[in-house]
Structure 1
Amino acid sequence: MNLSIKRITNLLLFFAIATSGILKAQITITNNNMPVAGDTLRHSIAVADGSLDFSLTGADYNWDFSSLKFASQDIFYYKALSATPYSFYPKLAGTVGLKTADSVPLGITTLEQLYTFYKTSASSYTATATGFIVSGFPLASLYTDPDIIYNFPMKFNNSHTDHYSVKTSIPTIGSFKQEGDRNTTVEGWGKISTPYGANIPCLKIKAVKVEIDSLITSFFSFGIPVSTVTYTWLSAGEKIPLLEVTGTEFGGTFTPGVMRYRDSSRIQLMGIRDLKLSSNSIYPNPAKDKLFFKETISNGTSCLIYDVTGRVVLSGVISDNTLNIETLAPGTYQLFCLSTSGAIIRSFIKE
């Protein structure tokens, strides 16, 4: 009798240990977890929160970002080639298109309806082509060196380095070229909590990217290198990141820029027509590293900065009547802050 009890006890102990190991085991991301044509995936852009450290990582780690506050929402529409303006390019067959911007001005011309086209295979998720419209003409090109976003199966401590390049000829102008290097590392696994859900099993990926976008003509070639760091948390149950934070890194310190997380529909509490506009103004304009407010504005006031395509490129908070914009690339932007005196909406130029 005692022997039977001992055996049962040992079996129960073995089962408990084995179950604990299974419950704590890291997940694996495969090609089955990537977006497909027809997916409409909602995400929220978060208000800046300087108290959060997105660089923390490790094995069996619990990331708690449930305090993130929603500022605005958007939807990623993944489309079959036939549903995009580039359906007559047979070399794009088998790809899934995602519109990345409505328009991008380049001085002597403007790119419109910008798309990136992706292919998913058992071994990778890759950007293989781009498309944009110039003067009403849809133009598309395959990458000469595809941009490998993820390698599969994706597990903790996996890493890869990738060089990518794509160049599109623009009639009567020249060409537009995007070229860069991506260094990707799966640097953590565990569970993440966001406003969308709590304790969701995930992998954390760090991608360091240096890219140069160049407009090339017979008279000049103009390009600006941009270096970014992106932290991404992926789960097996969602086709876009549970959380994606893009920013810059200097001296080992990460400064977040845009934070977006997978989300369900949230109701905006206030429409533009209901907003009281503030008379507060900003200076200098053009600005280099900081924007100053003419009238006093409370510390901690949240602000969003939009580029000319309508994308949120920076979220920040006011400190000592100042907003830090040093991570912005040179260009024209729209500032939106919601203060106690009303909404501050101003255009400015970053030098």
Structure 2
Amino acid sequence: MKKFYSVLLMAILSLVKAQMTYTAANYANVSDQANYHLGNTSTSLNFAATGANFQWNFAAVQNQSSKQIAYADPSTSVFKNLWCQSLGYTSDCDVEFSDNFNVAQKLINNPEPAGTNSTLEDLFAHYYKSYSDFSTKMLGLKMNSSGNEIVLTLNYQQPDVMYKFPMNYNDSYTEAFSYDGESMEQSFLFKINGTGTRTNVVDGYGNLVINNQTFSNVLRLKTISDQQITIVQNSGTQQRSIKTINYQWFHQDYKFPVLDVVAIEQNNITIPIEIRYLENSSTLANSSNEKLGKHFIYPNPSKGIFKTNIPENEIKSIEVYNLAGQLVSKSLNLSQLNNGQYIVKINTAKESISQKIIKN
């Protein structure tokens, strides 16, 4: 009987060890980018299957093309002044903009059809990242509808909380979001109003095989986004309902999801409409460190006193986080902290650089 309990205890401990935590420090920041392969969506693979200690095998996914995801500095956004104007920020535009957005992303690279006689020419997302969440707070768009140029910002009254940190197995939440925007160019009215909910469930962990790559100890996040959109134009009003399902697999060593599947459901069957998976070695969590040398924080591991090869006069701030995403220090002297793994974030005038360290 004693041996039975020992075996049972070891099994439980192995399961606990297998469950990974993904924090805000692991996730991407400004200037980070990922190169993705786009897989063939004509597949019978079951992306919905999940569970504890799960083995996902998508080796059969074949690469068809490629796609790059990149996060930019929102101060470069061409929609900045329009956003300030729409909310009445005149003298304090720069301050308000930087307080509201710290990450941005260009969502389309080429014009795309957007309905009858309409073309979407530009779409720019503006996010705010904190150590508790990552949220969409504004979309800037430019389009041509029946020969009329439309430029407007969709301002979120309730942000769309895309992720909450830290992510752990069995975490779940549902958050409402809402936005609106209006443009009146040469007597042509274009107005959008949207409301919806996002439900996120961390519903699995285990090992992932995708094409010829293997990722051990990943978390799987399922997202259901359900929104209703009202579009008002001179010609009338249109109402649309959009529901999407997103499956994402996260690994601590990568800043973006290692696998991202966008899907719809028909007759209880999940049908993928986009499958993207990381190219080999893309977006490693310490990729930004290469700009400053292979090991910019040293020695690693250390008993508690760490150093950096970044010149002291270039450092604006130092932040040290535990794996639960909590700020535990603002210096590289970790002598008073418990042994374990930490994420160090060094902010300079040009960028933020993160590295995982070990105190032993």
- State the TM-score, normalized to the length of structure 1: 0.65
1:146 equivalent in alignment to 2:195: no
Offset at residue 264 of structure 1 (A)? 4.0
Is structure 2 residue 234 aligned with structure 1 residue 225? no
Residue number in structure 2 paired with 1:249: 265
1:191 Cα deviation after fit:
1.5
Aligned to 1:95: 102
Q: Work out whether residues 38 and 274 of structure 2, in 8 Å CA contact, stay in contact via their aligned partners in 1.
A: yes
**2:74 is equivalent to residue 67 of structure 1:** no
Indicate the percent of aligned positions where both proteins have the same amino acid: 24
Matched, 1:178 2:194: yes
What's the offset of the Cα at 1:236?
Answer: 1.4
CA drift of 1:150 comes to 1.2
Partner deviation per Cα, 1:49-71 (whole Å, 9 max, x = no partner): 53311111111111111221110
Gapped regions of structure 2 (runs ≥ 5): 84-92, 283-360
Range with bigger deviation, 146-155 or 24-33: 24-33
Once the two structures are superposed, the pairs formed by residues 279-290 of structure 1 within 5 Å of their partners are: none
Q: Per-residue CA shift, 1:91-138, capped at 9, x if unaligned?
A: 442331111124353546544210111111121111111101256675
TM superposition shift of 1:229: 1.5
Look up the match of 1:200.
Answer: 216
* Residue 142 (structure 2) pairs with residue 133 (structure 1): yes
Question: If the length of structure 2 is used for normalisation, what is the TM-score?
Answer: 0.63
Report whether the alignment pairs 1:21 with 2:28.
Answer: no
**1:210 equivalent in alignment to 2:219:** no
2:32 is aligned to: 39
Counterpart Cα distance in 2 of 1:144 and 1:120? 17
Distance in 2, matches of 1:121 and 1:199, equals: 27
Amino acid at match of 2:125: T
Decide which moves more: 109-118 or 134-143. 134-143
Q: CA deviation at 1:219?
A: 4.9
* Residues 23 and 180 of structure 1: CA distance in aligned 2, closer, same or farther (over 3 Å): closer
1:84 corresponds, among 77, 83, 105, to 77
Amino acid at match of 1:163: A
Q: Is the 8 A contact 1:34 1:125 kept in 2?
A: no
Count, aligned residues: 254
Q: What CA distance in whole angstroms lies between the structure 2 residues aligned with 1:121 and 1:37?
A: 13
SS in 1 for 2:31: coil
Q: Tell me the secondary structure at the aligned position of residue 82 of structure 1.
A: helix
* 3-state DSSP of counterpart to 1:76: strand
Cα gap change, 1:137/1:83 in structure 2, threshold over 3 Å: closer, same or farther? Answer: farther
Which residue matches 1:163? Answer: 176
Q: 8 Å contact 2:18–2:217 — kept in the other structure?
A: no
Q: 3-state DSSP class of the match of 1:32?
A: coil
Look up the match of 1:116: 125
2:193 alignment partner AA: K
Q: Is the 8 A contact 1:62 1:199 kept in 2?
A: no
Q: Is the 8 A contact 1:113 1:132 kept in 2?
A: yes
**Structure 1 pair 80–144 and aligned structure 2 pair: CA distance change class (3 A):** same
Give the direction of change, closer, same or farther, for the CA distance of 1:243–1:183 in structure 2 (3 Å limit): same
Instruction: Output the amino acid matched with 1:83.
Output: T
Aligned to 1:58: 51
8 Å Cα contact 2:74-2:102 kept in structure 1: yes
Q: Distance in 2 between matches of 1:205 and 1:143?
A: 24
In structure 2, the residue matched to 1:304 is none
Deviation at 1:46, TM superposition (A): 0.1
> What pairs up with 1:229-308 in 2 under 5 angstroms?
229-264=245-280
Letter in 2 for 1:154: M
Distance between the aligned counterparts of 1:265 and 1:187, measured in 2? 26
Give the letter for the 2:121 counterpart: E
